[in-house]
Structure 1
Amino acid sequence: MTADDGRTPPATTTTGAYAAATRLGPVTLLTYRGPAGSVLRHVPSAADDAFWALGTQARGGADLVRGARRAPCAPGQVFLMRLSEPWELHARETYRLHLYRIPRRAVGASEAELLAARGVHGQPGDPVTRLLAPVLLRAADSAAGHPEPYRRDVAAVVTDLLGTLAAARAAGPPEPAPGADGDGRETLRRIRHFVNEHLGDRGLSPERIAARHHVSVRYLHKVFAAEGTTLTRWIKQRRLEECRRELGRRGPADPVPSVAAVARRWGFVNAAHFSRSFRAAYGMSPGEWHRLRTASGEDGGRGREAPAHASVLRATSAAG
């Protein structure tokens, strides 16, 4: 395996596998190649506790094995695994795999959402994966030839899409087309659209939303209860997501956002309440999130990132 800075890291793969490492800010991209019948085996270490792995195959079908679970994985799909757990990828064909080693702290999704999203994604009708897989492939093919600021922007896009994937999985399957059924799904779709258009309105209330959609407040709460949440909780979650997205944005022309101003812009009345809610949802303060996503040095991983050349997987023969 060869790191992108020209150093030769310790040999951790056996004959029949090849890996290259590229540093993308706090994210490490590893690319593996190998023959049919080989096995990529992940054996966790203490340093893996704070990381997740997001992978996609540029070539070749394989089976992702975690404990007693076995799931086929093919090009055009992605898989998400926690690096603190052992798992294997069994190649059925000659393969090329891109694996993104992502710090947990950089992902704007709850631990429960990430845990629910473990496994293989990419079934028909999965719009997030259809967007995510090409981004992972394009980034793997081009990122190494660009300067550090570009690489950090690529990492930000990847981690944002991972958060979107986790949130989509937690929300359940896509909603049916408008008018497809009469059980409140169309009403729910219209309500969500309305709320998303008015997230910054601090006067947004169940009473106002119910009146706008010609339903009772009781019915409004019933529709969201059927989704396993409440209207108030969902509005708060959406506001936090938009605040997280804005605080994580970076660029030479972007002004440094004020946490209080961002909170007000997305409908939070009290900055202290916003900060407590943000920490409860994402495990860090809004300021810490902003610094993590916009830092320009090697401390983007908060000092817990492994070296860029660190190997994630051990490749063995099928007999091994």
Structure 2
Amino acid sequence: MEAFVKPFIVVCDGMDADVFASLQAVSEFDVHPKAKLTQDEIKELLPKASALVIRSATKVQEEYLELAPNLKYVIRAGAGTDNIDKVKCGERGVKVSNTPGANNNSAAEHAVALMMTVLRHTAAADATMKNGGWDKSKYTGNELTNKKVGIVGFGQIGKIVAKRLQGFEPEVKFFDPFCESSDLAYVSKAQSVEEIFETCDIITLHTPLMEETKGMINKDLFNKMQSHAILVNASRGGIVNEEDLVSALKEGKLKAAGFDVFATEPLEEDSPLRQIPNLVLTPHLGAATDEAQLRVGEMAVNQLKEYFLNDNLLHEVKA
């Protein structure tokens, strides 16, 4: 009978400390002792890695797969797997899973937080206060109450956003070709994404990044926006044409925007996005809550146990 060889588990981009300790306590696993690694450190460990647990910082593309002949399993501690080359993984027999649902509430709340930050200029006001200013009249904002909110993509996160907005008494429209209706009385389906951009005061994006959505938010849609409207993106950066966004903000096609995600991450130091005063930027914080990290970590540890110890693959994601 073939002897059991402990799988070597590498946690690349951080994990809740207690959850990581519970993973290290699994006697059948050999777990690398650090839970947050640089990309150079990851490359050094790839030749003997059996499994990788990653977030958005690590990209499992062909280069990494070439360095990892023993790799059997990649877990994305989150929902989006666009940073994993699933085709190449499939060709090499490497299984891929995500942790669906664990980040949903945190991502939805961050979208609402960006709405409020953009509407009330809180980030800019704080910066001027820290520099000794008191620019009260400069930062007169707008209310969220009774606004028309458009949600592009009405999956789990989009639906949570709609629920979290309920106390603001909005009129909510959504567009999603895979969802026909909502059970919330104040939510209705728009006939097209163009209708969302033409009629809504606040637009928030919650679509996955795939071939059909890549670059779908572009100058054609920006040209349809009302000049007082704002745009929030806490989903995936690649769905927005960032060059068109910069132009639209400069030209007043929309009033302002709040973005948590970008086509290239980390955002380049010289990105034009950093120079736009009516654009609030956060460094992909949608899932960055203690609660979300606890949930994704617990799911990932359970998936590792099920796969390596019980030959049971949970939440597989295929190309």
Question: After TM superposition, is the score higher than 0.5?
Answer: no
Q: TM-score, normalised by structure 2?
A: 0.27
Q: Kindly indicate which of the two structures has a greater share of residues assigned to strand.
A: 1
Q: TM-score, normalised by structure 1?
A: 0.27
